[in-house]
Structure 1
Amino acid sequence: MTREEQFESFWKSYPRRVAKGAARKAFDKAIKKTTLESMLKAITEYVAKKPEKIDFKHPATWLNGECWDDEWEPAQARVQRPTYGANYGRAEIVSPPEPISPEEAERRRQMVAKLRAEGVIGGNIRGIH
């Protein structure tokens, strides 16, 4: 298999196909350090175990970082870490709200309409249409 065929095999397997020229240069360096089979196996593991909340690395970044050698934590050992807000303070981890029944949604709409009619509140209240 030629180097170009090897690269195309890598390229087709990688989940994020951007900056192909940079990826080709990085591949030419990386293939001297590992095998195509090792890369393809690592890509499969990367796709399966990468946390959903982060994007896939650019292929050149993945290659230059020798990410085919990355070790992944078992899924049950992962802990949700807090995110950071725009004010650079620690953001509170909040669970998504429980779904409400159509009857409860209607009751809330009626309550808001009543409060608006009485002049207690005004404007649009987020999440209530």
Structure 2
Amino acid sequence: MGTAKIIIDQMTLFRSYVEVADLLPDNETRGEFYSGLAHYALDGEEPKFTSPVCNGYFLLIKPIIDKSNIRRRAGSIGGEAKAKQTESKTEAKAKQTESKCEAIRNRNRNMNKENSLTGVKETPDAFSLSADESAPPQREAAAVCVSCFSFDEFWELYNHKRDKAKCETRYKRISEADRAKIKAVLPGYVAKTHTDGSFPSRKHPLTWLNGQCWNDEDAPAVAPPVPAPSAYPKPFSPEWYERKKQEDKSFGIGEKHDTTCATN
């Protein structure tokens, strides 16, 4: 398989070329010399000079032109190889993306099939494909998590509105367990603090959240559960004596029995 011919569209004109040309006797000879150099450097055509002096100078310059052309050809080949390599990587990446898409499609089909067998209603997957299945998978919006005490509820109850955006960002990092505690202690804290400058003053909401001040507040006391009434009365109470009396009767304790035997 032959190698494609590489077209050279430029050449380097060194100062030494000009100095050699200046030694030629007239402009016509110099023009012939420059023309011969250009055709050889660009087209690879050996010049046929009418002047033996031009032939001598050309033989001295020829190795320099050959070396320059070799570097140009090597650079051109390297550029083509790099372009092919980039194209190959792009194709490989496209195939990899398509493989991932196909895997997700297969997974969704299997899940929907299992759901149809079990009677579960199909729900959109977070990685479900868009309408155009040739496009990469798009993540759908995550389901909104319902909190036991949302930021909006906190913001309205705290009622000291400063730096809402920063407070909301901080609130998102609070666990549900701590939110439940905030919900329990915040009404008491708000009731005993003030935002009009009087003492005690309510803290900046971001300061309160950053300091985890809900741990400094006492949760409202919860009344202990009332025990269920016992089925057995309190010892030595009137009810206890009455019940014990009934039990003794049932077991025959304390009664007089006739122990005499009948005689014939």
Q: With structure 1 as the length reference, what TM-score do the two structures score?
A: 0.45
TM-score by length of 2: 0.24
Higher relative contact order (CA 8 A, sep 6+): 1
Considering fraction of residues, name the structure with more helix. 2
Q: Which has the larger radius of gyration?
A: 2
